[in-house]
Amino acid sequence: EVQLVESGGGLVQPGGSLRLSCAASGFPFSIYGMSWVRQAPGKGLEWVSTIRGGSGDIYYADSVKGRFTISRDNSKNTLHLQMNSLRADDTALYYCTKGPGGVGATQLREDYFDYWGQGTLVTVSS
Amino acid sequence: EIVLTQSPATLSLSPGERVTLSCRASQNIRSYLAWYQQKPGQAPRLLIYDASNRASGIPARFSGSGSGTDFTLSISSLEPEDLAVYYCQQRNTWPRTFGQGTRVEIK
């Protein structure tokens, strides 16, 4: 059974930093893409960043480029998101997702966000 | 960036009724569209991928159709547990984008 468990959220002041983590289990982590998707309170879903499995290719939304860094530790089956220069509009529930893609993706559904964690809340406020 | 526009914003129907949700893309995305369901207080879950394929464990009353720029998610007979917000998402290009969501309410 695929499980994704996020941690690291909390209250931080504008301009501050936070590091999110996602512990993954139930699938061969290293060969799948992993992503972060966020949801501001009462709002819709916004893709944040993806790191491919295998190639390690990385993609960012323009809204976070230059401030956020996605990384993965395949030895620990863990995904990270380093968030710097945080702003009030970064306040959101941050979901870790499996996908899209990666060298292990052999089924069409794996080109999407096919599994989601329960999220970790980041609040940026003074 | 591909913009996905969902309509309507909110839909209120009675159990047993047929539901039709729309998602329109700002440019051709072939069949590279997914639908997600987000129930209150829960994480989203994948319903439909590549426009018309049901994900595992999704009831047969859910179906998807369309290609190019116009897509539809249908629920053949609405159940009370279908109360949720439904999002479409494209994988044709980066950045990956979502529609703004359609809220389905039960009368």
pLDDT digits (tens, 9 = 90+) for A6-35: 999 999 999 999 999 999 999 999 999 999
DSSP codes, A105-126: --SGGGGS--EE---EEEEE--
pLDDT at residue A103 is higher than 90 = no
pLDDT reported for residue A105 = 81
Q: Which two tokens stand for residue B85?
A: 């917000």
What's the whole-number mean pLDDT along residues B52-81? 97
Among A14-23, A48-57, B9-18, the range scoring the smallest mean pLDDT is A48-57
Put simply, whether A1 touches B (Cβ < 8 Å) is no
- B53 contacts on A by Cβ (under 8 Å): 108-109
Put simply, whether B95 touches A (Cβ < 8 Å) is yes
pLDDT-derived band at A107, boundaries 50, 70, 90: confident
CB contact under 8 A, B96 and A47: yes
Put simply, whether A121 touches B (Cβ < 8 Å) is no
CB contact under 8 A, A108 and B43: no
pLDDT at residue B19 is higher than 90 = yes
Residue of A nearest to B89 (CA): A112
Put simply, whether B45 touches A (Cβ < 8 Å) is yes
pLDDT reported for residue B5 = 98
Nearest 5°: phi and psi at B80? Answer: -55, -30
Nearest 5°: phi and psi at B30? Answer: 55, -125
pLDDT-derived band at B74, boundaries 50, 70, 90: very high
pLDDT at residue B47 is higher than 90 = yes
pLDDT-derived band at A96, boundaries 50, 70, 90: very high
